[in-house]
Structures are given as structure tokens and as C-alpha cells.
């Protein structure tokens, strides 16, 4: 029996309709599918919830946009994710809602491939708390109107200090997220790399760096102004003078279900409305 966890956007009515469709579809074929409890409660579908471990599922079906995809990856810890775009941009999703039933049939019959993408391992010191991110870790000022001073070390050697609104350490997948808005480079997600992008730096050196994934980045807060650590858009820790964050490659990857060739540059062209000529 196949087990399928469903993760859904908590504020989209279409996500609720699709969640019922997915769960009923698998149940009719003798398989187990369920919503995670927080999504079921938010969507008024408590009867479809289960406390089963999402990381023990065979498949995760994500019904939402890129934010929901990021949350799904965090929950399932390497389980293959089928993304159904119920959002705006949908960089990470594989299909649109009308193709859902066909996609489930193809998955059940093994007619798919798995795309793997690098994730970040983030350690906040102290107390040594670990996080994982598909897109990025951000160390950013807390107080409006002030910069924060951050000391960057790369591969164990001090690089320089920044007076800046923040620093982004992104994966290639995250190169089209916050790093892009800070004028960072766009990198194909087939690469493994660390992108270090400053946010509004108050200094002459304002360039992003593209590093080997094994060139671990350590960022320490200098001076009395506090900062916050965000992981994939969620604030997870406050940082004070002397606190540091270390970012390197995670020992697990995100895994996405794909049904055909996926050309990153064509997706980029479509999302940005780029012309042929």
C-alpha cells in the first residue's frame, strides 16, 4: 500500500478542493493519503488529517505556490515531492491543477523521474541549533534605519566585514528568490554552489560571490546592533553581538517528481515574460 502526505496552502479554497480530490483518488485505489493536521484544521478538513510522520510517506503532494513547496520540503526530509501550482509564480511546481489526475496515474505506474536539488545546512551559534533550507538563509538587521555589521569567513578564513542591511546565503534554487531581488546572480539549479549576496551594503564592495559548496560560510554579528536569522523566509532566531551562523551543504537533498525534460532557462523565460526577439 502506498502512503501519500498532502501539504496544502492554508488560505486557498482551490487547495482544499484538490486535497479532497487527491485523498479520495488514492483511497479509491486502496492506498493511504492524508493531510497534515495544521493544514486540515485551517481548511476545515479535520476528518482528513493524520498524525503519521510525513517523512515516512512514499510521496508528498504539495498544493500551493513556492512558499508551500518550501514548507513541504522541510516537512518530508527527502521524500519525493509532486508540486501542483496553486500559487502565483510556481517556479518549483511540476504541474497545473487540470493535469493532477494524469500526474497521479503516471506516478503510480512509475512513469516519472526524480530531480535532486542541493539544500543548505545552517547552524546558529550559540546554541548550535541546526536548520535546513532549500532557498536561503538570511542574516538581516532588526532595527529600521540602521545597518548591521557582519564578519564573513569563507572556508575557515576571514574574508571581510560588511556594513549592510543583511547577507543572503542561497542555493542555486534560491538564486531566483530573495537573492535575485538583491541583484544576485541567477544560477541553474543543476549546479551545487553557495551564493553570498549582500542586501543594500553601505560599502564600495557590493558584489555577490558564487562559491564552491564545500567553502563553508560563517557570518558573525559585530557590534551591538542585533540581527535576525531567517530560513526560507521564516525567522527562526535572534542574533546578538558575537553570535554566528554557519552555512554549508546539507547531507540530504530535495527531491522533486518530474514527468519530462525541464529546461530551467525556459521556465525563467516564461515566468519573466521574456520575448524571443
130 touches 251 (CB < 8 A): no
User: CB-based burial of residue 43 (10 Å sphere; 0-12 exposed, 13-18 middle, 19+ buried)?
Assistant: buried
Tell me how crowded residue 245 is: count the other CB atoms within 10 A of its CB: 25
Pairing of strands 194-199, 244-249: unpaired
For residue 171, is it left (φ>0), alpha (ψ between -120 and 50) or beta?
beta
The catalytic residue positions are: 66
Picking from 151, 154, 189, the residue whose alpha carbon sits closest to that of residue 170 is: 189
Q: Residue 85, SS3?
A: strand
Angle subtended by helix axes 13-27 and 100-108, to nearest 10: 40
Edge-to-edge order in the sheet of strand 209-211:
209-211, 194-199, 166-170, 136-141, 227-231, 234-239
73 touches 62 (CB < 8 A): no
Phi and psi angles of residue 173, each rounded to the nearest 5 degrees, phi first:
-60, -40
Question: CA angle at residue 83 from 96 to 108, to 5 degrees?
Answer: 95
What Cα–Cα distance (Å) separates residue 268 from each residue in 103, 194, 249, 263, 274? 23, 20, 24, 9, 8
Give the CA radius of gyration of the chain: 20
Amino acid at each position: 500500500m502506498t502512503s501519500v502526505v498532502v501539504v496544502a496552502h492554508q488560505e486557498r479554497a482551490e487547495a482544499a478542493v484538490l486535497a479532497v480530490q487527491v485523498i479520495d483518488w488514492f483511497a479509491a485505489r486502496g492506498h493511504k493519503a492524508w493531510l497534515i493536521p495544521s493544514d486540515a484544521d485551517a481548511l476545515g478538513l479535520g476528518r482528513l488529517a493524520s498524525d503519521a510522520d510525513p517523512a515516512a510517506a512514499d510521496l508528498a503532494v504539495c498544493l500551493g505556490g513556492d512558499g508551500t513547496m518550501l514548507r513541504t520540503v522541510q516537512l518530508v526530509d527527502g521524500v519525493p515531492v509532486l508540486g501542483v501550482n496553486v500559487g502565483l509564480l510556481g517556479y518549483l511546481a511540476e504541474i497545473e491543477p487540470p493535469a493532477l489526475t494524469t500526474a497521479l496515474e503516471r506516478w503510480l505506474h512509475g512513469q516519472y523521474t526524480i530531480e535532486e536539488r542541493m539544500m543548505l545546512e545552517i547552524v546558529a551559534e550559540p546554541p548550535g541549533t541546526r536548520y535546513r533550507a532549500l532557498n536561503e538563509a538570511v542574516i538581516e538587521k532588526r532595527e529600521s534605519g540602521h545597518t548591521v555589521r557582519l564578519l564573513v569567513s569563507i572556508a575557515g578564513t576571514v574574508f571581510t566585514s560588511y556594513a549592510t542591511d543583511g547577507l543572503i546565503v542561497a542555493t542555486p534554487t534560491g538564486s531566483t528568490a530573495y537573492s535575485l531581488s538583491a541583484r544576485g546572480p541567477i544560477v541553474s539549479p543543476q549546479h551545487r554552489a553557495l551564493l553570498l549576496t549582500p542586501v543594500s551594503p553601505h560599502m564600495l564592495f557590493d558584489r555577490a560571490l558564487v562559491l564552491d559548496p564545500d567553502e563553508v560560510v560563517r557570518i558573525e554579528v559585530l557590534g551591538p546592533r542585533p540581527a535576525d536569522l531567517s530560513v526560507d523566509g521564516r525567522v527562526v532566531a535572534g542574533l546578538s553581538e558575537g553570535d554566528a551562523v554557519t552555512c554549508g551543504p546539507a547531507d540530504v537533498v530535495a527531491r522533486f517528481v518530474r514527468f519530462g525534460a525541464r529546461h530551467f532557462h525556459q521556465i525563467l523565460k516564461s515566468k519573466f515574460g521574456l520575448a524571443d526577439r
